[in-house]
Amino acid sequence: MFFNRKKEDNGYLSARESRRISKENRRITNEMEKRRKRKNVPESEYLTKMHDPANAVEFDNLHSWFFTDAGTVRSVDGVSFDVPIGKTVGVVGESGCGKSVTSLSLMQLLQRPQGQTVEGEIRLNLGDKAINVVDTPQEVMQHIRGNYVSMIFQEPMTSLNPVFRIGEQVDEVIELHDGEGKSKEDIRKRTIELLEMVGIANSEGVYMMFPHELSGGMRQRVMIAMALACSPKVIIADEPTTALDVTIQAQILDLLRQLKDRINSSIMLITHDLGVIAEMADYVVVMYAGRIVEKGTAEEIFYHPAHPYTIGLMASKPVVGREVKELYSIPGKVPNPINMPNYCYFKDRCDKCTGSCEGAYPEEISLSKTHKVSCCRYYPEEMKGGRENGKE
């Protein structure tokens, strides 16, 4: 349906072709932007129903693409998973597999205009009703962000504004989202309270400081305070501890867990640190090259990994008490997201590959009610036959 590059093999595009792509991209994205920017859209256009009311978020066949001048990058290409209320869902996968793009789609914060969700639904449970974020206009989304979903970003130094004091920045969040009927003094009090809640001892002092005067751990705590300012229902934590040392990391994770229980929200925890996932997550989603290859409860993924990629991932982490000469590393690299192959994306790196892997991208197979895997090694006998002429 969408335009893609013509010259696929040599990796170079002529100036003419590049111009043609950008013109076509503009046409596609302008149309989508126009739709998103509409005002006074009737609620019925984006209201939806949760498939299971016990879920806070349901990603359903999400496709988020970037329309770049070099072609269409299919960063997220058919992702479905649920985030149950009060639970933590860990999203793992190697760099560039689409973890951040998935979470940014939920916030409608993809880099626009080139980044667009082109297909699928993201159902968000607001309590008394549910919305489909993909169809929600920008105007309404501003109210959703912060109040219902908020995000703790990967890099606290770049996410805080260096020229404003910490207090002013947290005040602003409260003022924007929860400020109705509150005086300046009330807001200040709430900010100090939040800073204390996230474990900053000298909260009055920190209120007056600039970001560069804080340590990395303190900055991350400030980010968490901002994210929690309005008691959101869903907290997205994108590598919340990557920039921190191990002791602070443990403290921050503890803090996240406590706060989550206090406001009974759900956490979508993105990381490539399996240790963090093991400690925090109830459910785990394993992504590879823009798709989910396996998902299940943390126990299923850690003790019974099924997909060769997950098995490799598990073998590549050190385990206390087990002596290994060399940690396993998965050979090869991820396919180019502009020209994805039409067979299993992991096939070229897979040491368990069989003849039947030649067919179309593998369908999702249920190993238990919660455990699903996309790998043709788990196909029941009747599905194995005829894979060669299988559908895409």
- By CB under 6 A, tell whether 113 contacts ligand ATP: no
> Which stretch in 3-11, 90-98, 157-165, 172-180 sits in contact with ligand ATP by CB under 6 A?
90-98
In a 3-state reduction of DSSP, which class is residue 64?
strand
Rounded Cα distance, 145 and 154, in Å:
17
- By CB under 6 A, tell whether 100 contacts ligand ATP: yes
Site for ligand ATP in 347-376 (CB under 6 A): none
Site for ligand ATP in 328-347 (CB under 6 A): 337
- By CB under 6 A, tell whether 98 contacts ligand ATP: yes
- By CB under 6 A, tell whether 232 contacts ligand ATP: no
286 neighbors 295 (Cβ within 8 angstroms): yes
C-beta of 99: minimal distance to Mg ion in Å? 5
Site for ligand ATP in 288-327 (CB under 6 A): none
Rounded Cα distance, 19 and 197, in Å:
53
152 neighbors 238 (Cβ within 8 angstroms): yes
Which residue, 379, 284, 294, is CA-closest to 345?
Answer: 294
User: Which of residues 91 and 222 has its CB atom nearest to Mg ion in the complex?
Assistant: 91
151 neighbors 103 (Cβ within 8 angstroms): yes
DSSP element (H, E) containing 139? helix 138-147
Site for ligand ATP in 254-273 (CB under 6 A): 272
- By CB under 6 A, tell whether 68 contacts ligand ATP: yes
Rule CB under 6 A: choose which of 97, 170, 274, 311 binds ligand ATP.
Answer: 97
211 interacts with, out of Mg ion, ligand ATP, none, CB within 5 to 8 A per kind = none
For the record, the structure tokens of 149 come out as: 């979903």
Rule CB under 5 A: choose which of 100, 241, 249, 310 binds Mg ion.
Answer: 100
C-beta of 288: minimal distance to ligand ATP in Å? 10
182 interacts with, out of Mg ion, ligand ATP, none, CB within 5 to 8 A per kind = none
Q: Give the strands of the sheet with 55-68, arranged side by side.
A: 47-48, 130-132, 115-125, 55-68, 71-84
The long-range contacts involving 342-347, CB below 8 angstroms and separated by at least 24 positions, are: 342/392, 344/374, 344/375, 344/376, 345/288, 345/289, 345/291, 346/288, 346/289, 346/293, 346/307, 346/308, 346/309
Q: What residue ranges bind ligand ATP (CB under 6 A)?
A: 66, 68, 73, 75, 93, 95-101, 111, 114-115, 272, 337
Q: What residue ranges bind Mg ion (CB under 5 A)?
A: 100
